Amino acid sequence: MFNNISNSTIEKVLCSMSEPVVIFSENMKVVWTNPSAELYFGHSTEFMTGKRCTELFRGILECIENCPVEKSFVSKEEETLVVDGLISPLKLIDAVPYTENGRNLVLAIVHSVPEIDRDKALRRDFAALLNTSTTLEDAADDILDAVKNLTSVSTCGIYTGSGSSFKLFSGYGVPEKISGAEFKAPVYLSHEGLPFNAEDSFPDGAAIVPVVAPDGSVPMLLFAGRGSMSTKFRNRLEMMSDVLSSCVKRLLPHS
């Protein structure tokens, strides 16, 4: 892998990196880590050596399908894990296979993406996506795909209307027509269909989030159902509503 470069030089380079670096053996156990990994995981190299990857990443990353480290051992090629993005995927882990003294190893570089930076990137990408559309018909599929990808819901829809009467425009929702008090703030429902406070926690449920135009009117609602009612879920849905609010009059010129 590193032809004509001494091991001591390679180690110095890896130790100087600001990103966490972990070397795994074929049985998915830690062989070596750099100082940045010690800071990231909160343990010394001595403590982490011999630990399985599932122990190391517990509480930081859940065990995932198509793990780049496992794939790299099989493919003998560099593998990358990216997390959900709309235009620019966010890289999380690079896994690079190599052989040392007849031993197959994988060097994993962990790209730590703070949640706040990740959400900023998602906001930017969602806005760029909407800027390519001139009507809601053009944007509807992208909006629904974004809701599904960023909130992991199984059902979502776009409602259009005004005042207290809205009709399903695209996607799926229950019921097809929503009526009642004017929507001025998000409404979160438990899996039993009961409203709950934003501070409460439910394992799953639905959300109805208004898209408020610059003039204060509400011409659109986002519906997301059968999703985890986590803080991240709510923040992402409200972020998309906020971005949509700046262009909803352009997408719905007659609303």
The pLDDT score that the predictor gives to residue 82 is 77
- In 3D space, the residue among 207, 194, 116, 189 whose CA is nearest the CA of residue 153 turns out to be 207
The pLDDT score that the predictor gives to residue 202 is 47
> How many C-beta atoms surround the C-beta of residue 114 within 10 A?
8
- CATH homologous superfamily for the domain 7-112: PAS domain (3.30.450.20)
* DSSP label at residue 254: T
Directed axis angle between helix 115-131 and helix 136-151, to 10°? 160
> In the chain, which residues fall in CATH 3.30.450.40?
116-251
Helix (H, G, I), strand (E, B) or coil at 225: strand
The pLDDT score that the predictor gives to residue 67 is 84
* DSSP label at residue 195: B
Sequence-distant (6+) residues with CB within 8 A of 240 are 126, 143, 146, 147, 150, 222
The pLDDT score that the predictor gives to residue 201 is 47
50 vs 28, 29, 30, 159, 178, CA distance in Å?
Answer: 9, 5, 5, 53, 56
Class of domain 116-251: alpha beta
69 vs 33, 43, 53, 157, 164, CA distance in Å?
Answer: 15, 21, 9, 37, 52
Q: Is the peptide bond prior to 175 cis by the omega test (within 30 degrees of 0)?
A: yes
52 vs 29, 49, 120, 147, CA distance in Å?
Answer: 4, 9, 33, 34
The pLDDT score that the predictor gives to residue 174 is 72
Token readout for 34 is 């750099």
| CA–CA gap between residue 57 and residue 40 (Å, rounded) | 10
> In the chain, which residues fall in CATH 3.30.450.20?
7-112
Helix (H, G, I), strand (E, B) or coil at 251: helix
10-residue block means of pLDDT along the chain (255 residues)? 64 90 94 91 89 73 71 92 66 88 92 72 88 93 89 87 87 77 77 51 72 91 78 85 93 75
Q: How far apart are the first and last CA of the chain?
A: 61
Please name the helix (run of DSSP H) or strand (run of DSSP E) that holds residue 38, with its range, or none.
Answer: helix 35-41
Contact 34, 41 (CB under 8 A): no
The pLDDT score that the predictor gives to residue 255 is 47
